[in-house]
Amino acid sequence: MSKKNIILIASTLCFFLITGIASAEIKTGQTAPNFNLQDQNGNWHTLDDYKGKWVVLYFYPKDGTPGCTTEACSFRDNIFEFEKLNAQILGVSLDNVESHQAFSEKYSLPFPLLADLNKECATEYGVLGKFMMMTIAKRQSFVINPEGKIVKHYKKVDPDTHTEQVIGDLKKLTS
């Protein structure tokens, strides 16, 4: 094998490892993968617990980082709008229960933050990625309808405007 081919293969492999492209692609219209994860208070949550409600399942990289804090606080500040739309917010990262508890208490977050310690949920939803040398959940969100189907997948999320985008889409979906 030539040196050029080795470099091309190594570069491609690095790209997949850094971006997380090698994980499964989730499609709108498919049944949302179930999960069983603990929240910041030690309570267990499954997707089945929310049948009959809209679910906004948002994945984020790390508790307490600037973008993650902006996104979480925006969901918090609009919680009554989500409640009017019969929508439950669920945040998911690879952080542990204790980290979620501190983050939730510091910013008075009124929704569950789920600890995906074994990375199964992030893997099932295709959002597991790498940042530098850390494995993280990429910042992506899913809207799941009351029947458990994925109806919207946000692959590129701007923490400053994401909440308004989700509320707008939920209003269209529920009308």
- State the average pLDDT over residues 33-52: 97
CB within 8 Å of 32: residues ≥ 6 apart: 47, 55, 57, 142, 144, 148, 149, 150
Q: What are the domain boundaries of the chain?
A: 24-174
Query: Quick one: 24-174 is in which CATH superfamily?
Result: Glutaredoxin (3.40.30.10)
Per-residue pLDDT, 2: 52
Give the residue numbers marked as catalytic.
68
Q: What is the mean pLDDT of the chain?
A: 89
pLDDT tens column, 91-135: 999 999 999 999 999 999 999 999 999 999 999 999 999 888 889
Q: Is 90 in contact with 57 (CB distance < 8 Å)?
A: yes
**pTM, entire model:** 0.85
**Among all chains, which residue has been given the structure tokens 């918090």?**
76
Per-residue pLDDT, 24: 65
Q: Is 173 in contact with 143 (CB distance < 8 Å)?
A: yes
Please say if the pLDDT value at position 70 is more than 70: yes
